[in-house]
Chains A and B, each alone.
Chain A
Amino acid sequence: MADEYIIETFDLIKRYPMGRQELVALKKVNLKFRRGEFSGVIGPSGSGKTTLLNIIGSLDTPSSGSVVVLGEKVETLTPYRSAQLRRRHIGFIFQTFNLLPVYTVFENVEFPLLILKVPPAERRQRVMAALEWVGLADREKSRPNQLSGGESQRVAIARAIVKQPAIVLADEPTANLDAENSYHILDTMVKINQELGTTFIFSTHDEKVIRYLRRKIKLLDGAVVADKHAQPSGRET
């Protein structure tokens, strides 16, 4: 079946020029992800986690090899088509939240629907539903600078899932959060994964996140050194 895998990488290589030499950030990465997976790329700093997620998210292109996302080869997409792919099917969550500073919480979450031209009434209803998911319905009028780190990341999650994308790419989403907030957003994402069937791929070296993963992909110096399915152990008690 063509869409047995939602994401596939084939001998994915990413090189960065470094003066006269070059740095190989990803070395022949071959990975396949099924719909609804709750997986994570684990590895020390500089191992290539962010690079991998960015290429899957079509924010970057492979130096060689191929990446197929939802049946599309991302390295061959025109800028317009790759923007379409992200707009419709991919939600991003970053370590640094990246909320749009001048917008309110509501407007931040509304943004993906706005560019998908969802009509206003439906927009309102879906934004509020997404804010309910992350427990911030009462903060819709706040601005990003009035939010704590945990709240900001929850808004970012609401923004990533409001369009109900097939894939959410979360790059170290807990790196700037304390334990309590980390667990809170992890619980939220597990819930979203189970109820909406959204595919999650994390990048992390945070033990708390790793315990929630059902699949752990170990990356070292740009190469996959382990890829194991596991029973999530959940919150530390």
Chain B
Amino acid sequence: MTTLQLAVRNLRAAGIHTWLNAFALSLAFVAIIFGQGLLEGVNRQAEQASIAFEFGDGQFWHKQYDPYDPLTIDNAHAPIPEELKPLLNSGAAMPILIIPGSVYFAGKMLPVLIKGIPADQKVLKIPSAMLTDTTKDLPVLLGQQMAKTAGAGVGDYLTIQWRDARGAFDARQARVVGIMHTSVSTIDQGQVWLPLNKLWELTTMAGQATLITVKKKPIPVPALPDWDFRSLDFLLADLRTMIKTKTVGQSIMFIVLFLLAMLAIFDTQVFSIFRRRREIGMLIALGLTRAQVIAMFTFEGALYGVLATLLGTIYGTPLFIYLSARGISFPGSAQWGFALQERMYPVYPLSLILGTTLLVLITATFVSWLPTRRIARLKPTDALRGKGI
């Protein structure tokens, strides 16, 4: 007769109490997976949006280009290298030219980055096709946040000013041809999008680019003297850090929830050992060693973890399938500052579920074992008299 079998027998004999305890624990278990899945969903959604709208499968950056140092932008451009021309011609890569400038509209002056993008590109989801303008006007595309900041709408004329290749100021009127709806603020705030060929013309920088975004990372990556390839991991690093800091509150909440669940097990166990001290004395009188009694109590607690996992799987699985298919509406998500749509689709990767399960099981076992150490010091004669704990 193993102590594990005794523990199973005890839990079965305790009936409804066992299930109530296990159910309470399963709530924490499911809530943790739910919350982590939501964060994972936020993460993935933000990453996917960034990949679709901004990064593609990596970018070649001009050596001078540093998105955090606006002063470098002036010099961060060069003719598109010959080696990349085949990729560009096949539509698998796309150049963007960035130059500093400013926008005047309705009496306001806003410093901006002027970005030129090929109107016919298919690499990013930026609706550049809107820039295929047939009128004589210079077309310009704004992101939704930029449009709000400038107070401009479709059809409005902005004055765009920049310095050309020789450093002389130049300006043009441009008509807003579209407002782009994107959750990626790094292609929206403080920038305006022009057709690349027009920008080449206006700046006399024909054939030049600041970055070249690829649809698929080339293998091997060609070594180019003036260009550095930035992998997706590199490009997403900032976003990931930002999400981490923004969701740290949520993570703390789950940690607290988890600790509460563990405290509940611990408490149940402490109380159970206290209430059952005569029983402990009797078990020793019947011929169990203290170590066996400790093992039995520990198994009982660990089995709560197992039952909770089973219960949680039973009602959690349909819940999670439903949520990841239907999404959860997330009003007011615009303030988060990174890509977040109104409807969140939580993601429950196997690693998350297995990891949480393992964590619950191991911790449940550990906190069940902790209070049993007092059994080790318990004298059976005291226990039988209802004393000693």
Within 8 A of B (CB), among A81-97: 83-88, 92, 94, 96
| Contacts A98-B278, A100-B282 given; does A115 touch B381 at CB 8 Å | no
Q: Which residue of A lies closest to B10 (CB)?
A: A102
In the bound complex, do residue B1 and residue A103 qualify as a contact, i.e. CB atoms below 8 Å apart?
no
Most chain B beta carbons < 10 A, residue from A50, A57, A59, A60? A59
| Residues of chain A with a CB closer than 8 A to B283's CB | 100
Distance between Cα atoms of A117 and B379 in the complex (Å): 26
Establish whether residues B287 and A88, one from each chain, have CB atoms under 8 Å apart when the complex forms: yes
> Given that A59-B284, A98-B384 are contacting pairs, would A83 and B289 also be in contact in the complex, using a CB cutoff of 8 Å?
yes
Binary interface encoding of chain A residues 96-111 relative to chain B, with 1 for a CB under 8 A from any of its CBs, else 0: 1010111110010001
**Contact in complex: B289, A79 (CB < 8 Å):** yes
Query: Is A59's CB under 8 angstroms from B380's CB?
Result: yes
Chain A: interface size category: 20 to 34
A79 to B290 CA separation, bound complex (whole angstroms): 8
Total count of chain B residues near the partner, CB < 8 A? 26
Taking the closest CB of chain A, its distance from the CB of B20, in whole angstroms, is: 14
Distance, CA A203 to CA B363, complexed state (A):
46
Task: Indicate whether B279 reaches chain A with its CB closer than 8 angstroms.
Answer: yes
B80 to chain A, nearest CB (A): 79
Nearest-neighbour CB distance to chain A for B99, whole angstroms, equals: 79
Report how far A117 CA is from B2 CA in the complex, Å: 9
A57 engages B279 (CB within 8 Å): no
Quick check: B381 and A54 within 8 Å, CB to CB?
A: yes
A55 closest partner in B (C-beta) = B381
> Is A107's CB under 8 angstroms from B287's CB?
no
Given contacts A54-B381, A98-B278, contact A111 B13 (CB under 8 A): no
Asked if B109 lies at the interface with its beta carbon under 8 angstroms from chain A, I say no
The reply to whether A59 and B14 contact each other, CB–CB distance below 8 Å, is: no
Q: Which of B1, B13, B15 contacts A114 (CB 8 A)?
A: B1
Question: What is the bound-complex CA distance between A111 and B5, given in angstroms?
Answer: 12
User: Cβ of B381 and Cβ of A60 under 8 Å apart?
Assistant: yes
B9, B13, B15, B287 interface centre (most CB from chain A within 10 Å): B287
A115 to B279, CA, bound (A): 15
Asked if A112 is at the interface of the complex by the 8 Å CB criterion, the answer is yes
- Least Cβ distance of A96 to chain B in Å? 7
Residues of A within 8 A of B58 (CB): none
- A116 contact set on B, CB distance < 8 A: 1, 287
Residues on A with C-beta less than 8 A from B37 are: none
Interface centre among B5, B10, B279 (most CB of A within 10 A): B279
Given contacts A60-B381, A98-B278, A114-B1, contact A86 B286 (CB under 8 A): yes
Asked if A79 contacts B279 (CB within 8 A), the reply is no
Chain A residues within an 8 Å CB radius of B384: 59, 94, 98
B379 to A112, Cβ gap below 8 A?
no
Determine whether B291 belongs to the interface, using a CB cutoff of 8 Å to chain A.
yes
Give the residues in chain B near A50, CB-CB below 8 Å. 381
Partner of A57, one of B1, B13, B285, B291: B285
- Hey, which bits of chain B sit against chain A, CB under 8 A? 1, 5-6, 9-10, 13-15, 278-279, 281-292, 379-381, 384
Of the A-B pairs whose beta carbons lie under 8 Å apart in the complex, a sample of 6, sorted by A's number, is A88-B287, A98-B282, A100-B283, A102-B15, A114-B1, A115-B286
Given contact pairs A79-B290, A107-B13, A112-B287, a sample of 11 additional A-B residue pairs in the complex whose CB atoms are under 8 Å apart: A54-B381, A60-B381, A83-B284, A92-B282, A98-B278, A98-B285, A101-B279, A104-B13, A111-B286, A112-B286, A116-B287
Shortest beta-carbon contacts, A-B, top 9: A87-B287, A102-B13, A98-B282, A83-B289, A86-B287, A92-B285, A114-B1, A59-B380, A115-B1
